[in-house]
Amino acid sequence: MGIWTTTAQGLPGEDEAVQFTIRERRVPLRGQYRHGEFATRWWHYPACNVNRWSALEHEPDVASVDAFDAHAAAA
């Protein structure tokens, strides 16, 4: 896991696997930064609602928004 960065300091690269915290929660969520939003399997959060983020090593089964759909289709 990487160093925690506030969204005021910078944003991750497109499709980068990240963990992040939103204003309403203290527990980090895992997902991807995609199209200017932090996305999990279930929801998309605009960067303005995210307090901080940290890069993850690529974990396609966990971090990819599309991985959930691929696993659901295979089941």
pLDDT tens string 26-62? 899 999 999 999 999 999 999 999 999 999 976 555 5
For position 26, what pLDDT does the model report? 83
pLDDT of 73 strictly over 90: no
- Residue 51 is encoded by which pair of tokens? 């307090």
For residue 28, give the DSSP letter: P
* Kind plus residue range of the DSSP H or E element containing 59: none
25: pLDDT confidence band, cut at 50, 70 and 90?
confident
Give yes or no for a contact between 12 and 18, defined as CB atoms under 8 angstroms apart: yes
For position 23, what pLDDT does the model report? 85
For position 50, what pLDDT does the model report? 96
Dist CA 56 CA 32 (whole Å): 9
Task: Report pTM.
Answer: 0.72
| CA nearest to 50, candidates 16, 10, 20, 13 | 20
Number of domains in the chain: 1
Per the structure, the complete domain to which residue 22 belongs is given by: 5-74
